[in-house]
Chains A and B, each alone.
Chain A
Amino acid sequence: MLEQLARLGRVGIAILAHIGRGNILLFHILGGITDLATRPGLLIRQLYSVGVLSMLIISVSGTFVGMVLALQGHYTLSQFGAEQSLGVMVAASLVRELGPVVTALLFAGRAGSALTAEIGLMKATEQLSGLEMMAVDPIKRILTPRFLAGFISMPLLAGMFSALGILGGYFVGVGLLGVDDGAFWSQMQAKIDLHEDIYNGVIKSFVFGWVCTWIALFQGYEAVPTSEGVSRATTRTVVHSSLAVLGMDFILTALMFGG
C-alpha cells in the first residue's frame, strides 16, 4: 500500500519535472528571439523546411476534405431543401474546425516528427555539444528559429487548407452537383463572420502551432541519444501533439463558441 503510494508519488514528481523542463526550455527558446533579428537567414531557411515543404500535403488534403464535405453536406442539406447553404456549411466547417485541426494533425506528422528526429540526431552525434563548446548556444541558434518557423507557418498552412477546401467544395457542389453558383458564394459571404469565424480559427492555429512545435523540439532535445531513443521520441511527438491538439481544440471551441 505504502509502496504503491510512493510509486504514485514518484510518477507524479517525474511528470511535474518533465513539464518544468519543458517550460524552462520554452523560456530559453523565447529568449533567443532577439538574437534572431540579426540572423534572418536562419529563420527563412526553417520557414522553408517547416512551412514550404509542408504545403503539398496540406493543399492536397485540404482540397479532398473540402470535396468530401460538399458531397456529404449536399446529401444532408438536400433533404431539407437547403442546398443553397452548401457554401456556408463547407466554409464554416473548414474555417472554424477542420482547417486548424487537420492542418495541425498533418503538421505534427509531417514537420513535427522531422524536427524531433533532426534535433535528436544532432544530440546523438554530439553536434549540440559541439556548438556549446564553440560558445554557441544551441537552443538559441538551432531551436529558436525552428520554433518561430512552426509558429508562423501553422496559421498560413491552415489558411491554405481552408481556401483550397472551399475551392474543392465549390468544384463538387457547383460543378458536379448543380448548386447555384451565386448562392454558393453570396450565402457564404453573408453568413461567415470575420471575428466569430475567421479570427477564432486563426487564434486556434496559432495556439496549435505553438504547442506542436514546442512538443516536437522538446522531445528532440530530451531524446535519449541513441537510434532507439530518437525513434521513440519521434513517435511521442506525433502522439502527444495529436492529443494536445484535440484536447485544446475542445477547450478553445467551448470558450469561443460555447457561451
Chain B
Amino acid sequence: MTSDTDPLVKIRGLRFFRGERAIFDGVDIDIPRGKITAIMGPSGSGKTTLLKLIGGQLRPQAGSVEVDGQNIHRLSRRALYRLRIRMGMLFQSGALLTDISVFDNVAYPLREHAPLPSSMIRKLVLLKLESVGLRGARGLMPSELSGGMARRVALARAMALDPMMIMYDEPFTGQDPISLGVLVQLIRALNDASRITSIIVSHDVQETAEIADYIYVISNGRVIDHGSPDAMLKSNAPWTRQFMHGLADGPVPFHYPAPGLEQDLLGT
C-alpha cells in the first residue's frame, strides 16, 4: 500500500491532446505529501488543464495519474467521488453557485457530505469564512462579490471538508496586497497545521517562490525544469532563468504557436 514517503500525486507519461494540439506530451510530476508544490508556466501552457486531469474531470490520451495510490482514470464513478471528497479545488473563476448566498455556498459541501447538526455547520462555516476575512459577507449573493472576494469564498468552500489536498488555480490574481499577504499566510498555515498537501498553479513568481517547497515549470507540453524555489531562482538554465525573472527574450515562447508574423501580415 501507500506509505508516508510516497508522493500523494504521481503523474507518469501524461499525454493530453485538444484536437491536434498536444497540451501535454509526456509529463512526469510528483506531488509530495504535506508540502506546497507549485506548477508554474506561461499563460495557456495547460496549468488549469493539469488540475482538471488530476481531479479526474478530463481523461488523458495516455499515461497515468495516481492520487493516494489510486489511478484516477481507472476508478469507478463512486470511488472517484469518494476520493474527490478528500480533494479541494479552488477554481480560477471561483465557480460559486450563483443562486445561493455566500454562507450556503461554503455550507454546501458540509451539508452534502458531513451529517452534522445545523448549529455545528453554522460554526464551521463562520470559522472558514473568518479565516478568509469574509465572515461579514456571509449574507451576500455571489453576484455582489468582487472577483477577489469570490475567489476567497471559493477558498473557504474548498477548505470546508478539511481535505487531504487542495489545488489552487491562480489564488493570487485579483487580490490587493493585504489580502494577498493573508492568503499566503493562510495557505502556509493550512499546510503547517493540518499537513494539507497543496498544489498551487500560478504565474506570480514572487509570491509562489515565497511559499512553495518545490516548483515545476511547464511549457510547450513538457516539464522544462523543477527544483526548490532557491535553486530555481538561481538556476542558470536559460528556460528557467527567462521564466523566473520575467525576461521577454529566451527559449520560452511568449506567442501561441503561429506562422511567421511577416507571412501572416502579407496574407499568404
| A residues whose Cβ falls under 8 Å from a Cβ of B | 122, 125-127, 129-137
Contact = CB atoms under 8 A, between A and B. Distances in A.
Contacts of B88: 133
Interface residues of B, number: 22
A133 B87 contact: yes
Contacts of A135: 81-82, 84-85, 109, 112-113
Interface in B81-97: 81-82, 84-85, 87-89, 91, 93, 95-97
B97 A130 contact: yes
16 contacts: A125-B95, A126-B93, A129-B57, A130-B91, A130-B96, A130-B154, A132-B55, A132-B57, A133-B88, A133-B89, A133-B91, A134-B112, A134-B157, A135-B85, A136-B109, A136-B112
B239 interface: no
A127 B98 contact: yes
B91 A129 contact: yes
Contacts of B108: 134, 136
B98 A134 contact: no
A134 to B, nearest CB: 5
Contacts of A130: 89, 91, 95-97, 154
Interface of B: 52, 55, 57, 81-82, 84-85, 87-89, 91, 93, 95-98, 108-109, 112-113, 154, 157
Given A126-B95, A130-B89, 16 more contacts: A125-B95, A129-B95, A130-B97, A130-B154, A133-B55, A133-B57, A133-B87, A133-B88, A134-B84, A134-B108, A134-B109, A134-B112, A134-B157, A135-B109, A136-B108, A137-B81
A196 to B, nearest CB: 44
Nearest to A121: B98
Contacts of A134: 84, 108-109, 112, 157
A134 B160 CA distance: 10
A40 B147 CA distance: 33
A149 B117 CA distance: 29
Given A134-B109, A134-B112, A135-B113, A127 B96 contact: yes
Most buried by B among A125, A131, A134, A136: A134
